[in-house]
Structure 1
C-alpha cells in the first residue's frame, strides 16, 4: 500500500454505499483539417469494472446479514462471532472503495452538483424518512428531526459528504495515511467530541477513506490471484475462532467506531491501541474479502449499481423488526435453523432492493437530477451552441 495519493480518475460507477465519483470525460481529439476526429477512442466511455460491482453487492449483503444477526448475539455465541467478524471488515471495505472512486474529485461545478444530488439530498430525505418511521413504528412521537445528529444508517452519507469534500486536501499532503490514522487515534481518546454530525465515526473511519484515495489498480491486483484466495481461507478461519473466543469478553461497540474509549468504560490509552490494532485487523480481512471477489461479470454484477438503494431501504425492515418485537414474538428465530433462514431472508431482501425496478421507483430520492436548483454554466451553454 502506498502513502501518496493518486490524482488519476477512476471508472464511472454510482454513488454510495461505495460512493463513487464520476471521472472527467475523456477529451475528444481535435478534428483533422478534413473535419473528422483524429480518433473515436477518446470519446468512448470506459467500461465498468465488474470486480468493484461484485464487491459492493457482496458487501451490502453482509451488511444486511449483520443486522439480522444482531438480536441473536445474546443467545448464540456463534452468531456473535459471525457478527464481530463481519463488522470488522464490511464497512471498511465499502469506505475503501468509496475513497478509491473519489480520487478524481475536485471542486469542479459538475462534481459538486453530483455531491449534492447523490449524497446530500438522499441524506436529508432519508434522515427525515427514518425519523418519521421511528415516530410511527416505535410509537415515539417526541423523536425530533435533526440533520446534525444522523440516526441509524444515514451516518454513512454524512460521513461520505465530509470525506469527499476533504479529498483535495488529502491529495496535497505528503503523508496522508499516517495523518489520517493520527486523527483517528486522537478522536478515539476525545470524549468531548459528542454526537453532532457523528464526528466520531467520521474521524475514526477516515483512514479507510484516505487509504482508498491512495490506492491504484495495481494494489487491488495484488490480492486478486489464486495464492491470495487460498491464503484467505485460514486467515478467515483464524478470525472466526478468535471472534468466538472474544465474543463474550469484548465490547462489540468498538467495531462501530462511534464512541471514544472513555465512553466505552475503557482507559483513554486503549483508544489508541484499539484504533491501530483494529485498523490492521480490518485491512487483513478486507484484503481476504477482495481476494474472494470474482472479477468477471456475473448475475449479481448489475446489482452493484444499486447498493445505495439496498443500503438505505433495508434499514426500515431491520429497525421495524425490532420495533415490532419480531425477535421476541417468534422463538424460531433463535434456533440454529431459524438463524440460517434469517440469513437467507436478509440476503434475498437486500438483493431485491438493489434491482433495477426498485432503482427506478426510488431514483427521485437517491439520484435526483435537480437541474432547477443550479445555475446554468455559461461556458457549457456556449460550447453547446458552438
Structure 2
C-alpha cells in the first residue's frame, strides 16, 4: 500500500525534529567559589544527525509522486523510510530520559509539543482546504493531519516516560504492544494510535540507551562496516520492490489493512524493528561528530519538519509531477536538491525568529509560578549529553 501525499498523509518524514529551547544545553555545576554556572555545549553528533535526517524526510516527501515511474526511486524511498523516522524517535527517547511529571517538565511538554500540535493541526487543515480542493474540511484535533501525527505521538510517549523508566524490561513489553497493534485494525484514527503504538519500541529503545552506546557505534570498525551495510540494504530494497509491501515501514496499518495474514503482523514488527535498528546504528556511525556548517541547523529541525509540508502540499496542488522531465534521472536529482535546499532554509535562524511564537510559546500566564531551586543530584541525567528541546527528535 503506497503512502500518498493528500491531506491526511502522515508525512513520513517522519521524524524527531527538534527545536531550540531551555533543554538544548545543560547547566553545569556552579564553581566552588560561587559565580555563574557554565552551560555545557551541545553535542554536534546529535545536531548533525537530526539535520541529515530532516533532509531525508523532505526528500522522501518529494520522491513520493515519482515512485510509480522508477524502481530506483522506490528502492531509495524504501531505504530512507526504513530508518529516518526510527532515528528521530530513538534520539527523542534518548533525550526524554530525564522527563518526569514535575511542573517544569509538564510545562515544557505542553508548550513544546501540545501547543505546536494544535497550531499546526489547525494550520494544515486550513491550508489543505485550498491545496486539496476540500473547502468543507473540518478541524479535528483527534485526527492528526499530515505531519502532526508525530507531535501527538511524542506527547503520549513522553508523558508515559516515567512508567517505561520504572520497568525492568521495557523494550520487550513495547515490542509486544507494537505487535498486538498490527493485529487490531479497529484501533481507528484517533490520535493516529497505530503509529503511536507501532513506533513505540523505538522511543523505548532510546530511553534505554546511554551515551556509551552511541560511542560504541562511533568506533572506526563500525563506521567502516556501515558503508557495506547501507550498500547491501539498498540492493535488498531494490530486489524487494516487486516482492514486498514497503508500507510496513510506515507503521500505520494493521496486517489486515495491508492484505496480509494476521500472523505477518508480529513477525514483521520484529523483522522491521531489527532492520531499522541496524540501519539507525549505521546512520549514526556515518554522521560527522565534528561541528560542520550544518550543525547549528540541527537545533531547528522541528521548524523544517513542520514548515516544509506546506511547500510539498502546494507543489502537489500545482501538479508538478505531471511534467515528464521530472521523471528523468536529471529531473529526479533536481527534485532531490530542491527539497534539501528548502528544508535547510527552513531550519535557519531567520525562519526560527519569524515563527518562534508558534513553536516556542512562553505561556507563563497559563502556569502557576514555581519556586526555583537547584535540582537534586539524583534527578540529574546520568551522562553529560546536552538535552534538546521538548521536540527533540521529532
Q: Structure 2-normalised TM-score?
A: 0.87
Q: State the Cα RMSD in Å.
A: 1.8
Alignment match of 1:348 (pick from 331, 335, 341)? 341
Instruction: Spell out, residue by residue over 1:302-348, the C-alpha distance to the aligned partner (whole angstroms, 9 max, x if none).
Output: 000000000000001112222221111x2211110000011111111
Q: Which residue of 2 aligns with 1:197?
A: 191
Q: Contact (CA 8 Å) 2:19, 2:303: kept in 1 or not?
A: no
Match of 2:110 among 116, 121, 143: 116
3-state SS of 2:308 partner: helix
Does residue 278 of structure 1 match 2:272? yes
1:66-120 CA-partner distances (Å, limit 9, x unpaired): 1111111111000000000000000000000000000111111111111111100
Structure 2 portions without partners, runs of 5+? 1-14, 374-394
Partner of 1:64: 58
The answer as to whether partners of 2:18 and 2:300 remain within 8 angstroms in 1 is: no
How many Å apart are 1:239 and its aligned residue?
0.6
Match of 1:325 in 2: 319
2-structure distance, mates of 1:248, 1:191:
25
* Aligned residue among 116, 119, 123 for 1:129: 123
Whole-angstrom CA distance in 1 between matches of 2:30 and 2:186: 52
Count of aligned residue pairs for this structure pair: 357
Separation (CA, whole Å) in 1 of partners of 2:52 and 2:29: 34
- Pair 1:17-2:17 in alignment: yes
* Larger radius of gyration between Structure 1 and Structure 2: 1
Q: Hey, what does 2:233 align to over in structure 1?
A: 239
Task: Select which of 160, 165, 168 maps to 2:162.
Answer: 168
Using the alignment, how far apart are the partners of 1:292 and 1:228 within structure 2?
Answer: 9
Point out where structure 1 has 5 or more consecutive residues left out of the alignment. 1-14, 30-36, 382-386
Q: What is the alpha-carbon distance in structure 1 between the residues aligned to residue 18 and residue 123 of structure 2?
A: 22
Residue 33 of structure 2: aligned partner? 38
Please report how far the alpha carbon of residue 140 of structure 1 lies from its aligned counterpart in structure 2 after TM superposition: 0.2
After superposition, the C-alpha distances for 1:7-66 in whole angstroms (9 at most, x for unaligned) are: xxxxxxxx951479838755547xxxxxxx53558x222211000000000000000111
2:272 matches 1:288: no
In the alignment, the residues of structure 2 paired with residue 62 and residue 206 of structure 1 have an alpha-carbon distance, to the nearest angstrom, of 21
Q: In structure 2, what is the Cα distance between the partners aligned to 1:104 and 1:55?
A: 21
Return closer, same or farther for 1:176/1:233 CA change in 2, 3 Å cut-off.
Answer: same
Preserved CA contact (<8 Å) 1:19 1:160: no
- Normalised by the length of structure 1, the TM-score is 0.89
- Native 8 Å contact 1:19 1:98 kept in 2: no
- d(CA) in 2 for partners of 1:106, 1:165: 8
Residue 75 of structure 1 corresponds to which residue in structure 2? 69
Tell me the distance in 1 between the aligned counterparts of 2:302 and 2:16.
5
